[in-house]
Structure 1
């Protein structure tokens, strides 16, 4: 059994939480982790993020099993196309939802691989062998400026437009997700999070916490608390998944 936790927190400043997320199992016990950070309209950000999360939960819980990275990638692309169309249509139909959308980062976990899809600036990291790797590439204005050499990563932290995303789920009739599959090995840890965490917690902080020999539920709570201690101006959400350690080979668990 894999070990996983989900946390979401309103933070210290925002009047309500526009983040959504969760950790869900399909019929064969495989996990799907989701973080969505909503935006736009009068309280419509939480409409978009909740729609994305709920639709993913419903479809995943009805899914029997995913056996290959190709299947996983196809499933995620189809789901995101479907959800994008649903959010976009509602935004066109309801005035109070005009312009709403949501970032999303999803990780689908099988025994030997995990597949990540994302749109926007919510992130996925992998921590293994004392090394932290950022799996996703932010679809944001400042990230493009960093990539083009116009500003440094340090400048990006304090850029006045650091929260401008270039892609979001539901804001256009079609939107393309970045999708990739990676190896999923014993003792690997995967972190999904909204920018409410990464705006306040840097890579060194993440390494210090993820390297602790404590339950991941404690690590998750510490990271949320740290973001809030440093101002908590945004909602903070995260999922941490830890690969199980197989001490002996036996019958398959599913």
Structure 2
């Protein structure tokens, strides 16, 4: 599984509150983008805690024997990470109210289990085209789903950044999970809204479809987001299933 990850402060923000990580073990790959939020750098703390805690949990080499194992693992570990971030915010006044979005992919040689909380996204490019796998947990997305506003109106809605769900802000949190098959040359894109708000789906599809160099593609997409304003931190992970992979448990 080829992969690349990037995180950029953008052109406006003074600090980068995004954190990213890609971790490998015998079970496969765990990839995570976390977009932190909170005053006085607390967003940094929330996103970094999330990434570092997941890294430690993944290093325990869980046995992932199928999609149900992957979904169970993510469900349980998200609860643990949420509790850790929430308890830290309670015991450190400067971190009160902090939290983070997450989008994660647990990838084996045959499938990927996608989990997300908030408005960080996962896209899949495969033989069927380019599709957004996740649905934002945001106020504007609920308004779109209910037919109150159009998708185009959502792009400029004054409450566009209002989240309905985030990790670490409450004692309990719900994660949405979806498992998909992974075939040769399939590409997963995980990103914070600093990318998806600034680069259209059409451009994302074009760049992922026409380049075989993940590193160059990732760098170009970050540059595009900056060229289009770069008001937010920009983070992404690209994962591509390669034809030379062997064995059911390898990645």
Q: Is the 8 A contact 1:130 1:207 kept in 2?
A: no
- Listed one character per residue, the Cα deviations across residues 221-252 of structure 1 (whole Å, up to 9, x for unaligned) are 010000000010000000000001138x7898
Partner residue in 1 for 2:111: 113
Partner residue in 2 for 1:13: 12
How does the TM-score come out when normalised to structure 1?
Answer: 0.95
Partner residue in 2 for 1:206: 204
- Listed one character per residue, the Cα deviations across residues 77-111 of structure 1 (whole Å, up to 9, x for unaligned) are 11100011111111111110010000001000011
Distance 1:251 1:142 in 2: 41
Distance 1:250 1:77 in 2: 26
Q: Is the 8 A contact 1:130 1:211 kept in 2?
A: no
Matched, 1:22 2:32: no
Partner residue in 2 for 1:155: 153
State the shift of 1:213 in Å.
3.2
Choose from 226, 229, 244 the match for 2:227. 229
Distance 1:234 1:242 in 2: 26
Partner residue in 1 for 2:189: 191
- Listed one character per residue, the Cα deviations across residues 106-139 of structure 1 (whole Å, up to 9, x for unaligned) are 0000111100111000000000126111110100
Matched residues, number: 251
Give the 4+ runs in structure 1 shifted more than 4 A. 249-254
Structure 2: state its 5+ residue gaps: none
State the shift of 1:29 in Å.
6.0
How does the TM-score come out when normalised to structure 2?
Answer: 0.96
Matched, 1:135 2:139: no
SS in 1 for 2:164: coil
State the shift of 1:44 in Å.
0.1
SS in 1 for 2:203: helix
State the shift of 1:59 in Å.
1.0
Structure 1: state its 5+ residue gaps: none
SS in 2 for 1:211: helix
Choose from 201, 218, 221 the match for 1:220. 218
- Listed one character per residue, the Cα deviations across residues 133-170 of structure 1 (whole Å, up to 9, x for unaligned) are 11101000000000000111100111111111100000
